[in-house]
Structure 1
C-alpha cells in the first residue's frame, strides 16, 4: 500500500519536526517564566507630580535617575536619585527651580545632567551627590537641553531646542565650557530631542519639525559631522502628527 506523500515523513524529517516542537515548547516556557525581578516607586518631597526622565549607569551595579518633582501651583525642582541594583535608594538630591531632562555618566562615578534652569544648563554631580560644577548657557532666547552624551575627549554633546522654533547642538568640555555651538532651523519650528554617536565620528539626532504654523508635525532624523555641520536629514509622517520626543 503506497503512503500518502503529503503526510509521510522520513525518520530524519521526523527528528527535525520533533526537535522543532521541543525547542518551541522550551522557548514558550521561557517566555511564560519571565517575571519582574523588582519594581519601585519614588516620591518627591512635595507629594505632588514626580516625573522620571532618564537613567544611566552609576557603576558597581548602581544607577542614576533624573526627573522633575513639582510643588502644587509652584515651581519645579530636579529630582536626582542614586539607586542600587535592587532599586533601593542610596541618596536623593534636589535642584530648585530647574527641570532635569537627561543625564550621562561622567566617567569617574558621577553624572552630568542637562535640562532647563532659566536656560539650558549642565551640572556635574559626584558619586555622593555633591555638585562639582554648574554651567548655564544664555543668549537672546531660551535654550532647553533635552539630551546629553559623552565624547571621546572627556567632554559632552548637548542637543535641544532654542525657544521651540529652532534646534541647537553644543559641544562642551569636561567642565561644561562651550567649545562650539550650532543652531539649526526649519521653516517654522525645529526641535532636537535625542542624540547618539554615528559610526563615522559624527552624530545622529532625532526630533521633529514644522515647515509652517499649520504644517503637520514631521518626525526628523538628522546626521551631523563631528563639528556640527549638517550632512543630511530625513523627515517622515506616520499617522497624523509625528515626532520623536525621546
Structure 2
C-alpha cells in the first residue's frame, strides 16, 4: 500500500488560544484466551494494520501453539482490525516479549527475556537470558539471539538503528558470557547488535546497588539516550537522592558515557520511557513516591512523573500528575504540536484524574501536556476490572494507538476472553473546539521544523532536495532526520515506505 503524504505549504496557523478536547475512542479490541494475556507494545504498520507483542499463558481463543507455561505472543491485525496472523514464541518454561518494532524490511524485531532452553529459545547461558527474535513480515522467525551470562539478564527495549542494526537495553546480574564490567548487583545493560544479531559492543552501567534500563532510543547525533533506575551512588552513578532514582544516561555511538543524571527524592522514583524532543532535549516519564528533593506536588501514594531535560541533561521542568491513589506512566511521546502524550494507569478518582468509575481496579490513563508541562486534557479508559496501557504511539491519521491489557468486559472494553486480554485502543486525532481549517496531520512532524523532523514509523532511503533538484541531505533511514544545518526554505523529501514504493512530499525548514 502506498503511503500518501500531503503537506500543505504556507498554511496559516492560528495563534488564538483554543481549548483542546481529549480524542475519542474510534475502536478497541480484546485479544487472547481464557488465561492471562498482556500486551507491552502496539504500533501501526506500513500496510495500515497493527502489530502487538506481549506475553500469554493461554492456548485457546485467539492463541494457538503455546509451547508450555508462558510464551511471548505476537499478533498482526489487518487494516480492518481482524487477526491476520498470530505467533507464539518460546520454549517449555516462561518467555516474555517486552518491546517490538517494525523494521525497515517490513518485518519485526522482538526483545524480551526467556527462561527456556528449547523451542524458540536455544543457547541459554543460565538463569534467564535477554532474548531477541527477528521475524519476517508474515511472522516467520528469521533468526534469534540469546544474550547474557550465568545469572539473570533481561531486555526491556529495542530499536532498529540507522545502520540497520539494533540497540537493546535492560539489566544484567551476570559478569561472564556476553557480559563484562558488571559493577555489582544488577547493572543497566546496553547491547549493540548488527543487522544479523551479532554483538558489536556491550556496556554495563551502574554502581554497587541494583540498577536497570527500561528504555533506549538512538539520538540524532548517532548516540543513544537510556532511561531507567539506579539505587547506587558510585561507579557510573552520581547524584542519587537517597533511594531508587530516575536515571537518564547519554551514550555516544560506541557506548561511552557522555553524561548521566540521577533525579528524584528519598523514596522510589522510576523512569520507564524516554524520547528525544525536537529541541534536542529529552522527555522522560515514569512514577514517583517522593515529595522532596527534585519532586514536588505529589498527590499521595504513587504519582505519574514527567521530567523534561535539555540536551546536556539539565532538568528544565518536571510534573507530578495523579490523585490520592496510584498512578504510573509507562510510555511518553512528543505530539505534533510540541506537547507530550503520556500513557499508563490510574486507580484514583480525584486530583488530576476524572472519569474513573472503578472503585478498586485501575484504568488506562492518557494525559496530554503542553510544551511546558501544563495538562491540557486527560482521559480514563476501561471497565470495572483492571485495565492498563503499556505503550502509546502515533498513527498515520494523527491519532494514537494504545497497547496494554484489560480484564474488563464492560465500559470501554468488550470481547474479553477471560482473565487479562491484550487490549488495543485506537484514539482519533486530538479535537480542537476551534478548528483551524488549514491544520493537517500526517506521519511526519513538526512541519515546518527548525531541526528534527520525526516520522511516526521508520522510513528508508531518505533524501532531501532543494527546489533546484539538488540533493542536500541523505540518510539510510530511521525515525527522524536532522535538518538543523539546512538553510531556511522549502525542500522535497523523498523516501521509501516499508513496501518499497516511493513517497515524495514537501517540507518547510524554518
Q: Deviations over 1:169-206 (max 9, x none)?
A: 11001111111111112231211100012232211111
Q: Who is 1:81 aligned against?
A: 133
Partner of 1:91: 143
Question: Of residues 198, 211, 219 in structure 2, which corresponds to 1:130?
Answer: 198
Deviation at 1:71, TM superposition (A): 5.0
In the aligned structure 2, how far is the partner of 1:33 from the partner of 1:232? 41
1:158 aligns with 2:213: no
Separation in 2 of the partners of 1:89 and 1:110? Answer: 17
Unaligned runs of 5+ in 2: 1-77, 118-125, 174-186, 232-242, 292-299, 332-510
TM-score, length-normalised on structure 2?
0.39
Q: Can you list the C-alpha shifts for 1:40-60, whole angstroms capped at 9, x where unaligned?
A: 11114xx11111010124321
Structure 1 contact 58–111 (Cα < 8 Å) conserved: no
Partner Cα separation in structure 1 for residue 93 and residue 324 of structure 2: 34
Q: CA deviation at 1:143?
A: 1.6
Other-structure match for 1:16: none
Name stretches of at least 5 consecutive residues in structure 1 with no aligned partner: 1-30
CA RMSD of aligned residues (A): 2.1
Give yes or no for the alignment of 1:48 onto 2:103.
no
Partner of residue 115, structure 2 = 70
Q: What residue is the counterpart of 1:232 in the other structure?
A: 317
- What is the CA–CA distance in structure 1 between the aligned matches of 2:189 and 2:96, rounded to whole Å? 19
Q: Secondary structure at 2:279's aligned position in 1?
A: coil
Matches within 5 A, 1:16-55: 34-44=81-91, 47-55=92-100
* Residues 1:141 and 2:220 aligned together: no
- Match among 319, 326, 330 for residue 241 of structure 1: 326
1:245 CA displacement: 3.0
SS in structure 2 opposite 1:37?
strand
Cα distance in 2 for residues equivalent to 1:149 and 1:95: 19
- From the two aligned structures, give the one with the greater helix fraction: 1
2:259 aligns to what? 180
Among candidates 158, 173, 176, match of residue 103 of structure 1: 158
SS of residue paired to 2:87: coil
Classify the secondary structure of the residue corresponding to 2:84: coil
Cα distance between partner residues in 1 of 2:284 and 2:113: 24
Q: Which moved more, 1:63-72 or 1:201-210?
A: 63-72
Contact 1:112-1:124 at 8 Å conserved across structures: yes
Distance in 2 separating the partners of 1:32 and 1:193: 30
Could you list the structure 1 runs, at least 4 aligned residues long, displaced by more than 3 angstroms after superposition: 31-34
Cα distance in 1, alignment partners of residues 266 and 327 from structure 2 = 17
Which of residues 104, 110, 123 is equivalent to 1:59?
Answer: 104
* Aligned residue in 1 for 2:430: none
**Under a length normalisation based on structure 1, what TM-score does the superposition of the two structures give?**
0.80
SS in 1 for 2:86: coil
Listed one character per residue, the Cα deviations across residues 192-240 of structure 1 (whole Å, up to 9, x for unaligned) are 100012232211111000127xx50001111111111111111112572
- Matched residue SS, 1:38: strand
